């Protein structure tokens, strides 16, 4: 191997290492500890909230079958929803930290009555609430509040828009 080639390879390796996130260097056992922590956190949120979960493929199947449901994107309107959302979803902002009391400052000035109007009067209708990804808890807040308000078929789509895009499904965008 020539000296020039070695230098080029060394520079490329240093660049690759500098550009790689720290998690990429964790071994499979350390990654499993992280996965476990996220799984337990999700389960505990579901237990606290009293709702159910739906996977990416299940949600897509429901949509393809024309299931009557309301899909709610809990991410910020300009920062996320406008750029991409699950097709047919409507936007309603929820905060990331647990929202134990309704706070209009955290819901972009919207009230609990606004949320109820968006969900509709049928308490048996399927409600699917999502945010960005599994670690994001905006969807937990939305699903927990739907449950508190008496809706009986509430699902949190925990993979959110990242999983939707990861499955290479079509996304909705707001035309400006």
The residue ranges of every structural domain in the chain are 52-171
Is-contact 51 154, C-beta < 8 A?
yes
Assigned CATH for 52-171: 3.40.250.10
Q: What's the CA gap between 34 and 21, in Å, rounded?
A: 15
Confidence of residue 113 (pLDDT cuts 50, 70, 90): very high
10-55 per-position pLDDT tens digit: 454 445 445 556 555 678 888 899 889 999 999 999 999 999 999 9
- Is residue 110 exposed (0-12), middle (13-18) or buried (19+ Cβ within 10 Å)? middle
Is-contact 88 64, C-beta < 8 A?
no
Phi (first) and psi of residue 150, to 5 degrees: 100, 5
pTM: 0.82
Q: Are strands 153-157 and 126-130 parallel, antiparallel or unpaired?
A: parallel
């Amino acid at each position: 191997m020539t000296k020039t080639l070695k230098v080029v390879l060394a520079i490329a390796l240093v660049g690759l290492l500098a550009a790689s996130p720290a998690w990429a260097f964790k071994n499979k056992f350390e990654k499993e500890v992280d996965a476990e922590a996220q799984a337990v956190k999700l389960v505990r949120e579901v237990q606290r909230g009293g709702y159910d979960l739906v996977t990416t493929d299940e949600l897509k199947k429901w949509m393809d079958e024309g299931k009557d449901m309301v899909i709610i994107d809990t991410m910020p309107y300009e920062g996320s929803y406008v750029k991409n959302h699950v097709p047919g979803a409507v936007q309603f902002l929820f905060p990331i930290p647990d929202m134990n009391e309704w706070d209009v400052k955290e819901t972009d000035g919207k009230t609990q009555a606004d949320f109820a109007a968006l969900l509709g009067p049928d308490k048996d209708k399927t409600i699917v609430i999502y945010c960005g990804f599994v670690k994001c808890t905006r969807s937990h807040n939305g699903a927990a509040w739907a449950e508190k308000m008496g809706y009986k078929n509430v699902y949190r789509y925990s993979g959110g828009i990242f999983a939707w895009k990861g499955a290479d499904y079509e996304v909705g965008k707001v035309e400006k």
